[in-house]
Structure 1
Amino acid sequence: MARRKPEDSNKGSPEWMTTYGDLVTLLLCFFVLLFSFSTIDNNKFKAIIQSMQGSLGVLDSGVIVQVDPLINTFPGDTRDEENDFKRIKEQMDDFIKENNLEKSVSLILDERGLLVRLLDATLFDSGKAEIKNEAKYIIEMISDVIMESGKNIRIEGHTDNVPINTEKFPSNWELSTTRAVNVLKYLIEVRNIEPWRLSAVGYGEYHPIDTNDTAEGRQNNRRVDIVIINSESNGN
């Protein structure tokens, strides 16, 4: 008499399929969250999906597509910040032209952000570090822009290479540093800028932007630079 084969009691999908399905669902949720938090280039998004499929064995031999880093890249934020700095520069350009300050105040957009350059004669008397009364309205205008921007600020003092040796300023280091600090203190004490947003440094004669062999070159080197710092540089 022939024996009957026992019926298979484990009907339905294998148990490993449940774990596999959970894994795929979690990965899908993960990438949906990434998509919702960032601005993603369409080509990169397709490539990353292919990469996920490859790692799960959907592509032949588990091929993984290599793409540029995608997470934590927010090109939209960078463009918005660039537009903010351009808008700030336009506002300050208008102020400079209206007050005929083109020869004493200049604006430069560079990798650190927006640099507001003021010749020392605009702010200080020769060999002194007290801000002139007639120059304070310039700093006040700049402070309005600083408050609106929400950015950190770095104030840099510079001199020419003509030595100074007084009781108060034994060298150009002390003069450049004191001038930068006095601008910083004015922004804090008079204009109520948050202190944690500000820093000051004195470079003395060692970061010239022009020759020190002519009177005009030395005049250009004697300056205070107020840098409105972008989010990428942190003032470096």
Structure 2
Amino acid sequence: MSKRRKKKKHHDEHMDESWLIPYADLLTLLLALFIVLFAMSSVDAVKFQMLSKAFNDVFTGGTGVFEFQSPMPEGQMESPEEQQKDVKRNDKDAAAKDQEELQALQQKVNGYINDKRLTDKLETSLTDEGLLVMIRDNVLFESGRAEVRPQDVKIANEISDLLIMNPPRNIIISGHTDNVPIKTARYDSNWELSVMRAVEFMKIILKNDKLDPRWFSAKGFGEFQPVATNATEEGKARNRRVEILILPRTANEPQ
């Protein structure tokens, strides 16, 4: 009877599970290692350094397998806030340089205007949108027509030479009219006339093989963007115009 009881007691005993403790520790360390390896793949060196230091403190008391050399030279690691400040500073410097280039280009165009004695027909202004060159319609076109007059093709060609820049810039050519209604066999509205004047002028400009057509576009605004009152003949004359807008380099480049 006693032998049977001893045998039964032997089967009730549990297996030795002491091996589970080092096994669990090993799994924990492997998990920590994979987390650190993942952190190393991130471009954020600051976060990586903080994460790695935390694991050092927890598992090795600040020394051991997780010690590493900084992925960036000492003194060159920046926080996200500092990186953002650097980006803004660089953007500001680029904008200032771009503005200086536009000012130099404006002086070049103004020199041409003065040399040709066209101050009453061409003018420039530097705006937030870029450098604007305004050309009165009576410099280029007959009343109610969109074709550049033969005698004014030379002026258009000379203006095209002023637009040669390296690197180039996006340029928008736009047509504008006064508010006097127009209806001819060719144009049903001022809007159509303004569009065609911009296109015809741009076609003359782009005969210059040093200009890339990909950087140019044409628009027509009709009478809807006046720069002066249409109540006087002088105001109407100012509103009838072609404009060349030379954009900052921060504007989108052609694809």
Tell me how far apart the structure 1 counterparts of residues 251 and 232 of structure 2 sit (CA, whole Å): 33
Q: Is the 8 A contact 1:143 1:191 kept in 2?
A: no
Q: How far apart are 1:189 and its partner, in Å?
A: 2.9
Alignment match of 1:208 (pick from 193, 214, 226)? 226
Does 2:191 match 1:173?
yes
Larger radius of gyration: 2
Q: After superposition, where does 1:41-190 map in structure 2 within 5 Å?
A: 49=78, 51=79, 69-73=84-88, 74=90, 75-149=92-166, 150-190=168-208
Tell me how far apart the structure 2 counterparts of residues 108 and 178 of structure 1 sit (CA, whole Å): 24
Tell me how far apart the structure 2 counterparts of residues 123 and 205 of structure 1 sit (CA, whole Å): 18
Tell me how far apart the structure 2 counterparts of residues 191 and 130 of structure 1 sit (CA, whole Å): 21
Alignment match of 1:195 (pick from 213, 232, 235)? 213
Q: Is the 8 A contact 2:159 2:205 kept in 1?
A: no
1:61 corresponds to: none
Tell me how far apart the structure 2 counterparts of residues 28 and 97 of structure 1 sit (CA, whole Å): 56
Give me the CA root mean square deviation: 2.5
Gaps in structure 1 of 5+ consecutive residues:
1-9, 33-47, 53-65
Q: How far apart are 1:169 and its partner, in Å?
A: 0.6
| Counterpart code for 1:167 | A
Tell me how far apart the structure 1 counterparts of residues 201 and 215 of structure 2 sit (CA, whole Å): 14
Name which of structure 1's ranges 113-122 and 224-233 shifts more when overlaid on structure 2. Answer: 224-233
SS in 1 for 2:125: strand
Residues 192 and 171 from structure 1, CA distance in 2 versus in 1: closer, same or farther, beyond 3 angstroms?
A: farther
Tell me how far apart the structure 1 counterparts of residues 177 and 252 of structure 2 sit (CA, whole Å): 24
Name which of structure 1's ranges 153-162 and 73-82 shifts more when overlaid on structure 2. Answer: 73-82
What is the number of residues matched between the two proteins? 190
Q: How far apart are 1:135 and its partner, in Å?
A: 2.0
Name which of structure 1's ranges 149-158 and 70-79 shifts more when overlaid on structure 2. Answer: 70-79
Identity %: 32
SS in 1 for 2:187: coil
Q: TM-score, normalised by structure 1?
A: 0.72
Tell me how far apart the structure 2 counterparts of residues 118 and 68 of structure 1 sit (CA, whole Å): 45
